[in-house]
Amino acid sequence: SSVYGAEDEAAITIGLNDFIADALRGMDFIRKIIWISKKRMVDALTTMRGNEGD
């Protein structure tokens, strides 16, 4: 029946939204790791440049 089809469609949509939300949370985690890595690299390069005159 059409009601059953609508329920299936709603369930698929909810599942897809959960999947997308999980993926976005994962991307935020990865972005944070990349940001921390870049910051550490900049800090290391800044420290190295500061020691060039020694």
How much is the pLDDT for 3? Answer: 56
Interatomic CA distance for residues 45 and 51, integer angstroms: 10
Tokens describing residue 33: 């790791």
- Residue 40 tokens read as 């550490």
Summarised one tens digit per residue, pLDDT across range 42-52 is 999 999 888 77
Q: Could you tell me the pTM of the whole model?
A: 0.54
Choose among 41, 36, 37, 19: nearest CA to 11.
Answer: 19
Per-residue pLDDT reduced to its tens digit, 17-41: 888 888 888 888 899 999 999 999 9
More confident residue, 26 or 2: 26
Type of residue at 2: S
State which amino acid sits at residue 24: L
Boundaries of every domain in the chain = 1-54
Gap between the terminal Cα atoms of the chain: 81
pLDDT of residue 1: 46
